[in-house]
């Protein structure tokens, strides 16, 4: 689900909130691109029957007799098909209950010539029935000073259709909720969006686009400083043209514009400008030599670096393409990176051979007067600047002195050995993907299987009493006896099967990452020990602070299987 909408109130019961949630759900289903909605908390409307033992004795009625009567009168069986006017009609015999009135008027037996109805021997009413779960909402220290308030809650999880834009769908839901506030949703019922992946997607996309612009500006600025502002304009044109072609082909492949495809472009931007820079720098050099006319000089300069440029481009593409053949969960996640990066690299090479020489002829200055090599060398020395001075002072001595060369190579070898030692000593941890600074955390609690719902609720409440006092927590929703709205991680780990009185989950919503000092991973590490202590002191079998993974989740990073003839012995070793 891309969105979780939580209705909460301290004036209404969970069952009353669920009836409101049903109306809200009906309104949301009318929106475009809504695939599925799920209400979490309380139970659907049930008809409760409370029998009066004395009346049952008066009429000589046994409970199995009542059950049999209800089954017989709430029954409809298929009775065949009827064909007429090229239509086939399915016929069913019998009738199902349509209202509580039908249940009340169910005939149980006949006593002294008079029919005895269910309403004569029992109290019948609509309601929630037996409590099977608790869902409650609370605000954290970052949002409220009154931390003692706890609200009954119901959550509506909303999933979008495949291929639709999460940002557009989320915005449409938000607008619909604003219209329902005060009408479908009473004023004494609070509303909180406790998950909004549309907003998250917008934030991530904007952040990546910002980094893309920063990377582009940095490269253009570097070219302006080293070669000139006219040359930097040529690079500034080739970068967006290359990205536009890559995005167009990505759309044709069926890849949407998402965080992975944007990351692929940022990853490749430093490489894809190399082709244009190499060709442009050589054209700049030939123009400075003034040996040939502009058109001839641009052709010769491009041809001079053509083969190395082609070789370097395909070397990078060959190094990236194997990632496209990764299987499993990582395959679809990683595939857009090599595909988009390779496409961008290839077309950056094509543009370097076509567009860069053309723009160089149009925009770069070129004096037609030929000069001697000596005068050109003197002019280059004047315009070389600080980089040439540093090159002369630091780099050239390595060519003149064998001792300095070996000292320099030895120093590089020590740096390499030190880098490898950091990995061996675990001073630097190796991870495929870095931790992301999310705005949500989950607490997963498993009590022993014999635990009652009320006992699980008590332990969960002690955990949320600790959580709500954290300065980074904006709000939380606790789900006892039922599963929270699952994310990708929960889908893989089958969290939606957690439907039992000894299961509980707490969804923690943190304040915006720009408003807190610690990242979500650091917060999780900080609270993990305290939550484990609270859970173990209250008899919990298992508790975990779960972070949304930066990439595709896994069931378990390490799995150990224990075999033996004695099951109790296996459990003892496992514990």
- pLDDT per residue as tens digits for the range 245-297: 888 888 787 777 766 777 777 777 777 788 888 898 888 888 877 778 888 88
Stretch (H or E) spanning 472: none
In the chain, domain spans: 44-127, 384-430, 436-575
Separation in Å, CA 305 to CA 92, 298, 345: 82, 11, 16
Q: Is the pLDDT of residue 232 over 80?
A: yes
Domains 44-127 and 436-575 share a fold: no
Residue pLDDT, tens place only, 333-363: 778 888 888 888 899 899 999 999 999 888 8
- The number of beta carbons lying within 10 Å of the beta carbon of residue 59 is 16
In a 3-state reduction of DSSP, which class is residue 117? strand
444, 544 contact by CB (below 8 A): yes
Reduced DSSP (H G I as helix, E B as strand, rest coil) percent helix, strand, coil of the chain, to 5: 55, 20, 30
What distance separates the 2 farthest-apart alpha carbons in the chain?
130
Please name the fold of domain 44-127: 3.30.2090
Half-sphere exposure of residue 499: CA atoms within 13 angstroms, side-chain side: 9
Q: Which two tokens stand for residue 332?
A: 């679809």
Residue pLDDT, tens place only, 67-116: 888 888 888 888 888 888 888 888 888 788 888 888 899 888 888 888 99
474, 509 contact by CB (below 8 A): yes
Please give the sequence-ordered ranges of beta strands (E in DSSP) within 2-45, or none if there are none. Answer: 3-9, 34-40
Residue pLDDT, tens place only, 168-197: 999 999 999 999 998 999 989 999 999 998
Per-residue pLDDT at 373: 57
Tell which residue, 387, 220, 222, 377, has the closest CA to residue 288: 377
190, 151 contact by CB (below 8 A): yes
Per-residue pLDDT at 461: 95
Q: How far apart, in whole angstroms, are the C-alpha atoms of residue 298 and residue 301?
A: 5
Q: How far apart, in whole angstroms, are the C-alpha atoms of residue 571 and residue 575?
A: 6
Scan for tokens 């610690």, then name that residue: 518
Helix axes 336-363, 294-304, angle to 10 degrees: 150
CATH of the structural domain 436-575, one choice from 3.30.2270.10, 1.10.630.10, 3.30.70.1430, 3.20.20.70: 3.30.70.1430
β-partners of residue 382 are: none
Q: How far apart, in whole angstroms, are the C-alpha atoms of residue 353 and residue 361?
A: 13
Q: What is the mean pLDDT of residues 4-18?
A: 92
């Amino acid at each position: 689900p891309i969105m979780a909408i939580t209705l909460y109130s301290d004036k209404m019961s969970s069952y009353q909130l669920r009836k409101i949630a049903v109306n809200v759900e009906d309104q949301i289903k009318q929106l475009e691109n809504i695939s599925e909605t799920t209400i979490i908390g309380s139970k659907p409307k049930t008809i409760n029957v409370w029998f009066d033992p004395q009346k049952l004795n008066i009429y000589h009625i046994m409970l199995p007799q009542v059950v049999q009567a209800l089954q017989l009168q709430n029954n409809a069986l298929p009775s065949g098909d009827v064909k007429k006017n090229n239509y086939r009609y399915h016929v069913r015999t019998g009738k199902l209950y349509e209202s509580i009135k039908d249940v009340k008027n169910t005939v149980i037996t006949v006593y002294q010539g008079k029919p005895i109805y269910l309403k004569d021997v029992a109290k019948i009413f609509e309601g929630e029935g037996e409590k099977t779960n608790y869902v409650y909402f609370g605000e954290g220290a970052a949002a409220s000073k009154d931390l003692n308030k706890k609200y009954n809650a119901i959550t509506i999880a909303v999933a979008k259709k495949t291929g639709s834009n999460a940002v557009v769908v989320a915005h449409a839901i938000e607008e619909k909720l604003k219209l329902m506030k005060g009408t479908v949703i009473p004023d004494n019922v609070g509303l909180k969006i406790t998950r909004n992946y549309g907003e998250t997607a917008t934030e991530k996309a904007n952040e990546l686009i910002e980094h893309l612009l920063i990377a582009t500006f940095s490269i253009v600025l570097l070219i302006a400083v080293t070669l000139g502002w006219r040359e930097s304009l040529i690079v500034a044109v080739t970068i967006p043209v290359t990205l536009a072609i890559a995005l167009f082909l990505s759309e044709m492949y069926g890849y949407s514009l998402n965080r992975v495809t944007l990351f692929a472009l940022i990853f490749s931007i430093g490489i894809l400008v190399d082709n244009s820079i190499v060709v442009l720098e050589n054209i700049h050099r030939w123009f400075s030599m003034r040996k040939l006319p502009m058109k001839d000089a641009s052709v010769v300069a491009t041809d001079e670096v053509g083969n190395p440029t082609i070789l370097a481009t395909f070397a990078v593409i060959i190094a990236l393409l194997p990632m496209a053949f990764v299987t499993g969960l990582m395959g679809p996640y990683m595939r857009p990176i090599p595909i988009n990066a390779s496409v961008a690299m290839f077309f950056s090479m094509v543009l370097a051979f076509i567009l860069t020489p053309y723009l160089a002829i149009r925009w770069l200055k070129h004096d037609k007067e030929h000069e001697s090599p000596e005068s050109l060398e003197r002019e280059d020395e004047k315009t070389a600047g600080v980089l040439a001075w540093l090159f002369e002072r630091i780099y050239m001595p390595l060519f003149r002195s064998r001792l300095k060369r070996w000292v320099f190579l030895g120093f590089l070898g020590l740096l390499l050995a030190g880098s490898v030692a950091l990995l061996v000593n675990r001073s630097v941890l190796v991870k495929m993907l870095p931790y992301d600074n999310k705005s949500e955390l989950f607490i997963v609690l498993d009590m022993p299987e014999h635990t009652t719902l009320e006992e699980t609720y008590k332990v969960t409440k002690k955990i949320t009493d600790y959580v709500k006092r954290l300065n980074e927590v904006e709000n939380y929703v606790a789900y006892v006896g039922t599963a929270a709205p699952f994310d990708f991680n929960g889908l893989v780990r089958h969290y939606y099967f957690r439907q039992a009185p000894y299961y509980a989950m707490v969804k923690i919503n943190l304040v915006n990452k720009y408003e807190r000092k610690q990242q979500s991973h650091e917060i999780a590490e900080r609270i993990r020990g305290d939550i484990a202590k609270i859970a173990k002191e209250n008899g919990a079998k298992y508790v975990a602070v779960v972070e949304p993974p930066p990439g595709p989740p896994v069931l378990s990073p390490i799995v150990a299987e224990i075999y033996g003839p004695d099951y109790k012995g296996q459990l003892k070793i496992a514990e």
